[in-house]
Homo-oligomer: A and B are copies of this chain.
Amino acid sequence: MSGCLTIVGLGPGDTRWLTPAASEALAQATDLVGYGPYLVRAPERPGQRRHPSDNRVELDRARYALELAADGARVAVVSGGDPGVFAMAAAVFEAVESGDPAWRSLDIRVEPGVTAMFAAAARVGAPLGGDFCAISLSDNLKPWEVVEARLKAALSADFAIALYNPISSARPWQLGAALSLVREVRDPDTPVVLARAVGRPDERITVRSLSEVEPSQADMSTLLIIGASTTRLIERDEGRGPYVYTPRSYGVRS
């Protein structure tokens, strides 16, 4: 088999966050496979074939990409952010494991990218400056009890928490349930960052206190960062939002 497959992280929206390595992987591909809105972010190349698909068919998309590669294509599977974070890389390896044994001989690579939580954090300061965790609130692929147990553990250990996939029309109540758990443990003044469409023209980043956050302030393009007990605001001049950061030190004076 002469084909190959690279799962490429586009970063979060802004092409100025697309790494040179990712650009190169896109340029070298004969075939691009991915969710339609991500595909349009890859620069057009004459002769390159594009295979856009729906958002909810990751495993089918992964198998299709592997078939193309097995037929000799140089395939790039495009993914928003970093492909290893709640994105296409795991889907491709799931497909490899359960699929045609010949797929294991393919040259499969992952090209990392800037993931949404770090782009969101950068916009406001350094809210993930201490220990942190990332949890997908989607219960499409794991039971809600697992999400709940992970949230509780993260709260008990005082991690800053990034919440991916907080809400969608098919999952309307999960964010509210998660916020209720957070409110049982964290102070009402805990800073929460709501980062919508970070790096895209319609980006909207807001900082609220935990007591002010409502699920209706988020949508499926939003990522939330919930501060740890040590996460702090630095107020600035009128009209400029505060900086939000989590000190590196914890329980000791630096």
- Name A residues whose Cβ lies closer than 8 Å to a Cβ of B: 9, 11, 14-21, 24, 58-59, 82-86, 89-94, 96-97, 104-105, 108-115, 118-119, 121-123, 125-136, 141-143, 146, 149-150, 152-154, 156-159, 232, 234-237, 243, 245-252, 254
Of the residues B9, B16, B131, B236, contact of A150 by C-beta under 8 Å: B131
Chain B residue with the shortest CB-CB distance to A126:
B89
B150 touches A90 (CB 8 A): no
Query: Measured between alpha carbons, how far is A93 from B109 in the docked complex, in Å?
Result: 37
Number of copies: 2
Q: A16-B20, A157-B154 are in contact. Are A245 and B122 (CB under 8 A)?
A: no
Known: A84-B126, A142-B252. 17 other contacts (CB 8 A): A14-B21, A16-B19, A16-B24, A19-B114, A84-B121, A89-B126, A93-B243, A93-B247, A94-B245, A104-B234, A104-B237, A105-B237, A108-B243, A110-B122, A141-B248, A146-B251, A153-B154
